[in-house]
Structure 1
Amino acid sequence: MPRLELDPNFTDPDAFYAALTELHRECSEAESERINARLILLLANHVGDQQVLEEALAIAGQAEKPSDK
């Protein structure tokens, strides 16, 4: 059964980060949200395995949420 890869697996994380931030440069918040949604769907399609995707969703859902102070 495939598992979500949690160990660093980027060939060049700095290049990916630079490309991602450049993609969002000068975008409105709504445009950035649409880009992120499309990116998520493209990568989910690439992964393809439902169990791996559900594991990723569960881990992402555990992220801390800002407090309402």
Structure 2
Amino acid sequence: MAKFTGTVRHNSLEGGFYELHTDNGEVFRLSSCDVKAGVRVVVDGSVEKGGFGIHMSGPSIKVNRITPA
């Protein structure tokens, strides 16, 4: 399990989804998100390997927990 710190953003492409823009410039699609866009958070989760998504975004994080940063 890894921790990722950054800001949640909403991407309206293809019906909409949430992304995490990390402090070091990486972008991850969030498998689930229960916070509003613009909030700084710490995400506990793991990067899904070999997954395929229709969204034009970075790899997906399988979220176990999201807490405010």
TM-score, normalising length: structure 2: 0.19
Question: By percentage of residues, which structure has more strand?
Answer: 2
Question: By percentage of residues, which structure has more helix?
Answer: 1
Question: With CA pairs under 8 Å and 6+ residues apart, which has the higher RCO, 1 or 2?
Answer: 1
Flag the structure with larger Rg.
1
TM-score, normalising length: structure 1: 0.19
